[in-house]
Amino acid sequence: MVRQASTTLLILIVSDDGDLQRSVSATLLADGFACRVLGEAPRLVEVAGNETPDLVLLDADIEGFDGRDLLGALKRDPRTAMIPVFVVTGQNRHWGRLAAFELGADEYLEKPLFLSGLGRRILWRLAKGTTDVPRVTSQRPVLIVEDDEDVRESLSQILEDEGIATVAAKNGKEALDMLHDERVSPSLILLDLMMPVMDGWEFRKRMDADVSIVPPVIVMSARPRDDSVRSVAWLQKPLHVDVLLSAIQKYAAA
C-alpha cells in the first residue's frame, strides 16, 4: 500500500474504456484511495464541481470528444479550475504533452500506464513533493537504452518526476557514442537487450572492453536472467516502478 492516511483522497476517473476503469480503480483502491468512475464526458464538469475530487484522471481518448475540450472545460469553471488533472492518452498525440500542459494539465501519461507507480505519482503531485515517500535524487543523469519509444519516454517521465535527470538512446551504438561524450557522464545505465543496430549483449561486451566506461548497468528485460550480461541488477519487464526506483537508489554512482 502506498499510504496510510486518516483522510481518504478521492480520485475521479473519467473514461469510457472499461478495462482502463477497472485496472486503474483496482490499483488506486489497493493503494488506499477512494475512486469515482465517470464514463460520461458531458457530465465531467458537473460531477467534478459537485463532488470536488482531489484529482481527476482524464482519459483524453473518450470516443466523440476532444481531450483538449474536456480539459479546457475543467480549467475554465471556477469550481474545478484548481483540481489537479492527470491526462491519459494513447491516441491523441497530434496535440500531445506540450498542449496538455499549456491547457493546465498537471501530468501527461501515455498508455499503457505504469499502474504500480500511479498512486505514488498522485501523492507526490497532491503534496507537491512533501510526502513522506522518499524521493530518489541524482545530480548526474541516468542513461536509458531502449528502442521502444513509448517505454523510453515513459521511463524518462517517471524518473524526471523523481528529480532524476535522464538521457536516452535508441540502441547500443547510440548509447556508446553518448558514453564517449564527456558531457553526458551518466550515474547509471538502464539497458534493454532486444534492440536493432546494436543489441544489449553486444553493447555490454563493448562497454566491458572500454575501461573509460564505468557506470553500473541495470538490465530491463522480459527474458530470464542471463549471466553472460554483466549487471548489478536484472529487472523483469513489465517493470514495477517501486522496484526500479529502489534499484536506482541502491546502485546509482555517487
To the nearest whole percent, how much of the chain has pLDDT over 90? 51
Give residue 139's pLDDT. 62
Check for a shared fold between 10-127 and 138-251.
yes
pLDDT digits (tens, 9 = 90+) for 143-156: 999 998 888 888 88
Give residue 234's pLDDT. 95
Give residue 38's pLDDT. 96
Q: pTM (2 decimals)?
A: 0.56
**Which residues, including other chains, have CB under 8 Å from residue 250's CB and lie 6 or more apart?**
233
Least confident segment among 102-106, 130-134, 226-230, 243-247: 130-134
pLDDT digits (tens, 9 = 90+) for 168-221: 999 999 999 999 887 788 999 999 999 999 999 999 999 989 878 889 999 999
Give residue 133's pLDDT. 41
Give residue 231's pLDDT. 94
pLDDT digits (tens, 9 = 90+) for 77-87: 999 999 999 99
DSSP bridge partners of 236: 221
Question: Which option is the CATH number for 138-251: 3.50.50.60, 3.10.580.10, 3.40.50.2300, 3.20.20.70?
Answer: 3.40.50.2300
Of 35, 9, 32, 31, which Cα lies nearest the Cα of 22?
A: 35
Better-scored residue on pLDDT, 83 or 137: 83
Can you identify the CATH homologous superfamily of domain 10-127? Response regulator (3.40.50.2300)
Does residue 5 carry a pLDDT above 70? no
With bands split at pLDDT 50, 70 and 90, how would you rate the model's confidence at 160? confident
- Distance set, CA 210 to CA 118, 192, 205, 207, 214 (Å): 39, 20, 9, 5, 9
Of 10, 95, 8, 21, which Cα lies nearest the Cα of 58?
A: 21
With bands split at pLDDT 50, 70 and 90, how would you rate the model's confidence at 9? very high
To the nearest whole percent, how much of the chain has pLDDT over 70? 89
Where are the domains positioned within the chain? Answer: 10-127, 138-251
60 neighbors 30 (Cβ within 8 angstroms): no
pLDDT digits (tens, 9 = 90+) for 42-93: 999 999 999 999 999 999 989 899 888 999 999 999 999 999 999 998 865 5
Judged on CB neighbours under 10 Å (0-12, 13-18, 19+), 190 is buried
Give residue 101's pLDDT. 81
DSSP bridge partners of 38: 14
Better-scored residue on pLDDT, 117 or 24: 24
Does residue 137 carry a pLDDT above 60? no
Give residue 3's pLDDT. 47
